[in-house]
Amino acid sequence: MLAALFTLATKVGAQPTAPWRDSALQLSARIRALRDSLLEGDSTVREVARRDGLVIGASDRLTGAAAVALARFAEARRRWFGGSLPSPDGFRIVLRSEKTVDEWPPRTRELRTMVLAGLPDSGASVRTQRNVGDDRFAETLIDLYAEQMFASAGPQVTKWIEQGAPVSLPEKERRYIAMYAVVTGTGRAPRGCAAGNLSDCGDALGLRPSSMPARGGGYPAFVRVDLLLTALELGGPGAWERLRGTAGTHLELALAAAARLPIDSLLQRWRGDLLALRPIDSPIQFKAVLLAVGWTAAMLLAVLGLARWV
């Protein structure tokens, strides 16, 4: 009996490994395909265009919108982040939208999908999905990518700017809203910043503690995002990599490295550019008030964790 068992053990140990390896590779490929199909949820998605290491695909009815969205996304990515990726493995963003195609009878809705990937888009890439309304595909792609990039810079940056950074907002509109928040800010630190005290600016922006007690309130998150984007704009090529490379030390150092300016010079430039936008002959427009209030409410919802359902 011992001889029989020894013979059986020898036969099992001598089995070739190639079939097992091939089976494991096939199983891994099927798992990746299943995961991707669950993430995309739309078998009609096909590749639309490629550009600068980016690939965009979409449902048949979204191919035109996908080409436009890719062009806008590529320009925003180049401006703020250069050619950087949130991960060496790439990224993927999946957007879904439902469109009413026939009101009656009966009412039918069409599921449409847009998928943007940054190569190599491996199994370990950063991935995000979101439901989109009002055909805001390009804006949503830009903002979700910015969230991925800010997260890649580390917890200090993501905690500082919170969620929902309006990177896709037109620059003129974003800066006007930030100006309104700075000019009308309440609390000792925001008032001191508007009056020209750079220490108070750093305090109101959450960059440094104030030298005086009773600091008062701070600026909302979209004002901090405006400062970050200003630093990236001033720093030019390589600004994002410099910020990300120093973000683990201190936010002031990271912003100064990105802008290639001392932090006080950056704050002075940022504050001066905003205050230069103040209207001279007319009061601040009511539209800017509504936008500022809306963005503040959106930031609050994001902090409460409701933004994932948007």
Q: Give the pLDDT confidence score for residue 111 in this predicted structure.
A: 87
Structure tokens at 27: 């199983």
Higher pLDDT, 149 or 249: 149
Name the residue ranges covered by the structural domains of the chain.
Answer: 41-152, 171-309
Q: Give the pLDDT confidence score for residue 33 in this predicted structure.
A: 42
The per-residue pLDDT of the chain, averaged, comes to: 81
Q: Give the pLDDT confidence score for residue 98 in this predicted structure.
A: 84
Give the residue-averaged pLDDT of 44-73. 94
Kindly report, residue by residue over 134-146, the tens digit of the pLDDT: 689 999 999 999 9
Higher pLDDT, 209 or 140: 140
Alpha-carbon span 238 to 84, nearest angstrom: 9
* φ/ψ bin of 158: left (φ > 0), alpha (ψ from -120 to 50), beta (otherwise): alpha
Give the residue-averaged pLDDT of 73-96. 96
User: Which helix H or strand E contains 120, and what residues bound it?
Assistant: none
Alpha-carbon span 28 to 50, nearest angstrom: 27
Q: Give the pLDDT confidence score for residue 37 in this predicted structure.
A: 44
Residue 34, pLDDT > 50, answer: no
Q: Give the pLDDT confidence score for residue 192 in this predicted structure.
A: 93
Give the residue-averaged pLDDT of 162-173. 82
